Amino acid sequence: MRLLRLLQIVTHLARHRLDRLLPKEIKLSFWVRFVLLTFHFFPKPKDSPEVSFRLALERLGPIFIKFGQILSTRRDLFTTEIINELEKLQDQVAPFSSKIARQIIEREVSYPIETIFTNFNNVPLASASIAQIHEAKLRSGEDVVVKVVRPGIDETIKRDIRLMLFLARCLELYWREGKRLHAFDVVKDYENTITNELNLQLEAANTATLRKNWLGSNDLYVPEIYWEYCTLRVMVIERIYGIRSNNIALLNQKEVDLKKLAHLGVNIFFTQVFEHNFFHADMHPGNVFIDISDPKDPSYIALDCAIIGSLSTEDKDYLAQNLLAFFHQDYAEVARLHVASGWVPAKTNLKEFESIIRSVCEPVFQKPIKDISFGKLLVNLFRTARQFEMEVQPQLVLLQKTLLNIEGMGRQIYPDLDLWETAAPFMERWMRSRYGAQSLLKSFRENASRWIHQLPQLPDLALGALEEINLLGKKSDEQTLILAEIKAHLHRESKKARYTKIGTITLVAAIFISFLPLSGYATVTEVLVGTSVLGSFAVYWLYSQS
């Protein structure tokens, strides 16, 4: 089956003669040239190469349509003609029958259409790779849209994912670069992502969370979910009205502040990643609309929250430090962070790695800021770092793709977008807030009760560890005696710990009181007296039990 599907893919590419898109000056291997030669057995289509590219992706199915959607935001990489065609993949995929859509809705919600809606438009408002959308009006009066998953899409996706996993495994087995690229892990992550898109209840939950994160903000609006009509295959959501983010002509006609809009998009992205740790990871123009009620103060509307990303605390820290080091052209710090994070092996020669990073980045930073593409910079760095065995980080692939989308969309709105102008100050503020006094106090406050609770358990944990170590080898008489002494000592310490806990709680209270002047709850004199009394009490208890 895999071989049959692979043959089908190559046949589709050949039938549409996509070899016409390849630049003539590009150097290809013998085997690639041989395969492309077979394309000439098919007649040249009447459609342009750009239209053929879009049609080929459509006919290959949702996996390839999604790939085309990602490419459609990269105007800095492709011609305008290609981008214009690929943009049609965002919500102009051929729809399925509205009769089937109605049947799916009625089966999923267990009610006839007429008992839910006073009006249901049989003509889809939009049709994408995974689902299509119909306008409707609830009996309670709200304008909504109904999202319905395409019938039979599950098997199509599973088939193509199996093929991609097979090719990824072959890549890792038969190409020396394959393991470093973690091709199999990347495909598995993508499998999880696209499988989640089939679950509209999960998308509804993501949408509700994103809406809660931005409630009260004038920067990003997320529509309301109507939970009583949401299932695995159907979702009913508030109907929004706005302008597509790629409708630049209309935005200009309405005299929208495009510079402000572009930088606002970058700020929203970084806020989602670093402050909320919950970011919309499918930000192509089909999912992003603009509210121009006030053209001088525009805002965004987010749709289609099926793909959501988040990062571990460690990944966020390393990513933030790397970005700041790039912004400040501190290549030594970039090299050190790559090693510290495990993205390159610990044996890496930092001086050599720093020189390589400088050779890639320095020419880029000599250009006008508007001509610097962070996406291209990442690609060049990745290629150059191969000699240092730099590995692909599957957990960051979704974030990297989203950042590329954001940059592409931002430059589409405002070609002179200075990504660094917004990102650098944001990252600096975030780093200060993360490692400042208030953040440390918050962390201490959140963990203090857990630490205090665990204090009495430490002697028992240490004793258990010693006993396990002892069981690994033969016990000599001397070892047994030492272990007995340690056990008796730890038993005494465990008893003392009950009393020490009281003293520790008092000490923690003293520390908290020391921060009261910062919040205005007490004068410095009152705090000094209170801290002294409580601190002395704590020291007495700790000393008396030692």
Residues annotated as part of the active site: 282
Q: How far apart are CA 282 and CA 521, in angstroms?
A: 45
Answer whether 399's CB lies under 8 Å from 193's CB: no
Q: How far apart are CA 83 and CA 50, in angstroms?
A: 8
For residue 280, the 8-state DSSP code is E
Pairing mode, strands 131-138 and 143-149 = antiparallel
What is the b/e burial string over 351-361, where b = at least 16 CB atoms within 10 angstroms of the residue's CB?
A: eebbebbeebb
**What is the 3 state secondary structure string of 84-119?**
HHHHHHCCECCCCCHHHHHHHHHHHHCCCHHHHEEE
Query: What angle do the packed helices 419-435 and 258-270 form, to 10 degrees?
Result: 30
Helix (H, G, I), strand (E, B) or coil at 445: helix
Cβ neighbours of 280 (radius 10 Å): 27
> CB under 8 Å, gap of 24 or more: what pairs does 345-350 form?
345/388, 345/389, 348/388, 348/389
> Would you state the structure tokens that stand for residue 392, as one six-digit string?
């692909």
Pairing mode, strands 220-221 and 299-302 = parallel
Cβ neighbours of 9 (radius 10 Å): 16
Q: How far apart are CA 431 and CA 424, in angstroms?
A: 11
